Amino acid sequence: MKNENNFSNQERNPLQSIEQWEDDVLQRYPEQDQPAKAKDAFRNYDNPERDTVREFYRLNHKYQTYDFVMEKKKDFLRFNRKEMPVWGAMEFLNTLVDDSDPDIELDQLQHLLQTAEAIRADGHPDWFILTGFIHDMGKVLCLFGEPQWAVVGDTFPVGCKHADKIVYPEFFADNPDVRDERYNTQYGIYEPHCGLDNVNMSWGHDEYLYQITKDHLPEPALYMIRYHSFYAQHREHAYAHLMNAHDHAMFEWVKKFNPYDLYSKSPHPPVVQELKPYYEDLIAKYLPATVRL
């Protein structure tokens, strides 16, 4: 199989910045009360940003095979790259600089603080706020040299048929799993309603951070972290056939989380140093002194 060294730089980093993926998701799922402008932008097929995002999805859908996911888990779930305090990991994440315009793009830490502060403003429990704060920490995968399409992008189950509700489903034609009879039926290697815990998702920052935090946070927080990019289910409901009743109950939290992720971006950057003591306390309450990445 292809390992990461076989990818050209063009194939590894089709986006100018990984935020382009999130900007595209936002155009696909505009906030209810202001749909018109965003929908127009989404329909603008001449937009060069959209071509970039299309190319990103072409690569994502082609290379995220069952074997690819297994390889990534075997490698990254050894957690042998770094060990650091959570706040340090967030600062490490913030060293991720790309070609986006620094005047208009918020950095990673600002997105995470805005998400968390919006959750806090609505009076949610502290573990929910903490989840907002750390939910994208898994994007440190980019700093370990991973291709963008193996860090961000909508996630989907591997090992079974790809739902046509996944964005750009036509690009799965290039994924060898669609010609593998173990993987190309509705259930593939899974049983009906087997529960998502038994299902392998495409590899990226969601599953990675779930594996880092799984022994430390309440279960709804873990669902939010693990499935926040699983738009094909939490927005499109295309994988109910693999879910059990417990998954459905927990996905209420995933749905509750999503608007904070998508719609909390404001042009006013939070003042990191003012907020740091509060978040350091939250981290200390739930998470170990250091995490292994």
Q: Are 205 and 213 in contact (CB under 8 A)?
A: no
Q: Which stretch binds Fe ion (CB under 5 A): 29-37, 97-105, 133-141, 268-276?
A: 133-141
Distance between CA 152 and CA 18 in Å, rounded? 7
Q: Which stretch binds Fe ion (CB under 5 A): 26-34, 82-90, 141-149, 255-263?
A: 255-263
Q: Which is nearer to Fe ion, 105 or 261 (CB)?
A: 261
Least spacing, CB of residue 202 vs Fe ion, in Å? 13
Please pick, from the candidates 261, 264, 282, 293, the single residue that binds Fe ion as defined by CB under 5 A. Answer: 261
Q: Which is nearer to Fe ion, 131 or 200 (CB)?
A: 131
CB atoms within 10 A of CB 196: 23
Q: In whole angstroms, how far apart are CA 85 and each of 78, 81, 107, 185, 244? A: 18, 14, 20, 43, 35
The footprint of Fe ion on this chain (CB under 5 A) covers a number of residues equal to: 2
Q: Are 13 and 147 in contact (CB under 8 A)?
A: yes
Least spacing, CB of residue 116 vs Fe ion, in Å? 11
3-state secondary structure 132-166: HHHCCHHHHHHHHCCCHHHCCCCCCEECCCCCCCC
Q: Which is nearer to Fe ion, 190 or 231 (CB)?
A: 231
Residue 103 DSSP class: T
Q: Which stretch binds Fe ion (CB under 5 A): 59-67, 194-202, 232-240, 259-267?
A: 259-267
Q: Which is nearer to Fe ion, 192 or 269 (CB)?
A: 269
Please pick, from the candidates 136, 146, 154, 247, the single residue that binds Fe ion as defined by CB under 5 A. Answer: 136
Distance between CA 121 and CA 263 in Å, rounded? 14
Least spacing, CB of residue 260 vs Fe ion, in Å? 9
Residue 291 DSSP class: E
Q: Which is nearer to Fe ion, 107 or 136 (CB)?
A: 136
Q: Which is nearer to Fe ion, 108 or 200 (CB)?
A: 108
Least spacing, CB of residue 292 vs Fe ion, in Å? 20
Least spacing, CB of residue 136 vs Fe ion, in Å? 4
Q: In whole angstroms, how far apart are CA 266 and each of 61, 79, 155, 211, 281? A: 31, 34, 26, 30, 25
Q: Which stretch binds Fe ion (CB under 5 A): 12-20, 177-185, 190-198, 257-265?
A: 257-265
Residues that bind Fe ion (CB under 5 A): 136, 261
